[in-house]
Amino acid sequence: MKNSYCFVVYAPYALFTDPLTRIGGEKSTYQVPTYEALKGIVESVYWKPTLIHYIDSIRVLHTIRMETKGVRPIEYGGGNTLANYTYLKNPRYVVQGHFEFNLNRPDLEGDRNEGKHFSIFQRSLKAGGRRDIFLGTRECQGYVEPCTFDEEKGDYDLIDEVHFGTMVHGISYPDETGKDELAIRLWQPVMKNGVIHFPRPETCNLVRKIGEMQTKQFDLSSIQTVDALFDEFEKGATR
């Protein structure tokens, strides 16, 4: 199947926020990116509700280093608070993943064209993504480029194992799970020779429900046909 991809993503800084550090209004990053953060990067390259992106694995290329900065958070009610944010410095990762058709969306069955989506994704990747790429938070602007998984040498290639404890894996949305609920997944990643393999979301055992949520449906009332767009163009041209 033509549904797999591989790319390198890098930035001067990254902030994959550990929720436990946000209680006091400050932020501290995880040592490695979460599954959900990487999925967000992929969806910034190319996203459609017809597809579900799955992150298979990443290679950590650069040594994990952190840097703390004094930041003044935006306070819409006024104030002059100074907070400390701890970022990853000069991160660089190789990401390997694939997409599958979203079988929970029968309303989009007509858009299940594997070759089309694969070609669009590859073109979008070469262009640096369809939307801005950022690593964790909006101020951490990043860049993506196509590559092969073993193209570069990594600083952890000769290190057997590194354990990172319990981390957030990602968020389960109803349009992907078929359930009318929003849930968060946790896991305990282990890096072996610089590579972290991600389990599929449905295989995560530590899942906590956040709340109820409904899937947004797409029908003729929310989709404008090509004929309707052409009619609007014709009317505009004759004015």
pTM reported for the whole predicted model: 0.84
- Residue reference for tokens 């797999």: 4
Q: What is the mean pLDDT of the chain?
A: 89
Task: Answer with the residue of higher pLDDT: 86 or 228.
Answer: 86
Q: Residue 99: is its pLDDT beyond 70? A: yes
Exposed e or buried b per residue across 173-196, where buried means at least 16 C-beta atoms within 10 angstroms of its C-beta: bbbbbebeebbbbebebebeebbb
Structure tokens at 29: 């990053």
Angle at 172 between CA 166 and CA 177, to 5 degrees: 135
pLDDT digits (tens, 9 = 90+) for 155-207: 999 999 999 999 999 988 887 887 888 899 999 999 999 999 999 999 999 99
**Inter-residue contact 4 to 98 (CB < 8 Å):** yes
Highest mean pLDDT among 67-76, 149-158, 217-226: 149-158
pLDDT digits (tens, 9 = 90+) for 118-130: 999 999 999 999 9
pLDDT digits (tens, 9 = 90+) for 24-74: 778 999 999 999 999 999 999 999 989 999 999 999 999 999 999 998 887
Q: Residue 3: is its pLDDT beyond 70? A: yes
Question: Where do the domains of the chain lie, and which CATH numbers do they carry?
Answer: 4-238 (3.30.70.2660)
